[in-house]
Amino acid sequence: MPRTTLKRLYETHNRLRQEERTGIVDLASPRANRSPPIRIGYLSADFRNHVMGRLMLDVLRRHDRARFRVHAYSIAKHELEDDLTTEFRVCCDGFVRLDDLDNLEAAHRIAADEPDLLVDLMSRSGSSRRAFCSTNPRR
Residue 73: per-residue pLDDT: 97
Instruction: For residue 71, give the CATH number of its domain.
Output: 3.40.50.11380
Identity at 6, one-letter amino acid code: L
Residue 132 in domain: no
Residue 47 in domain: yes
Summarize pLDDT for 14-25 with one digit per residue, the tens: 888 788 777 766
Query: What are the angstrom distances between the C-alpha of 38 and each of 30, 69, 88, 116?
Result: 13, 6, 19, 6
Give me the sign of the Cα torsion angle 6, 12, 13, 18: positive
Residue 131 in domain: no
* Nearest CA-CA partner of 46 in 99, 6, 115: 99
E strands of 32-130, at which residues?
Answer: 38-44, 68-74, 94-97, 117-120
Residue 116 lies in domain: 37-126
Residue 104 in domain: yes
Residue 137 in domain: no
pTM attached to this predicted model: 0.74
Structural domain tally of the chain? 1
Summarize pLDDT for 34-86 with one digit per residue, the tens: 778 999 999 999 999 999 999 999 999 999 999 999 999 999 998 999 999 99
Residue 14 in domain: no
Q: Is 19 exposed, middle or buried (0-12, 13-18, 19+ CB in 10 A)?
A: exposed
Residue 87 in domain: yes
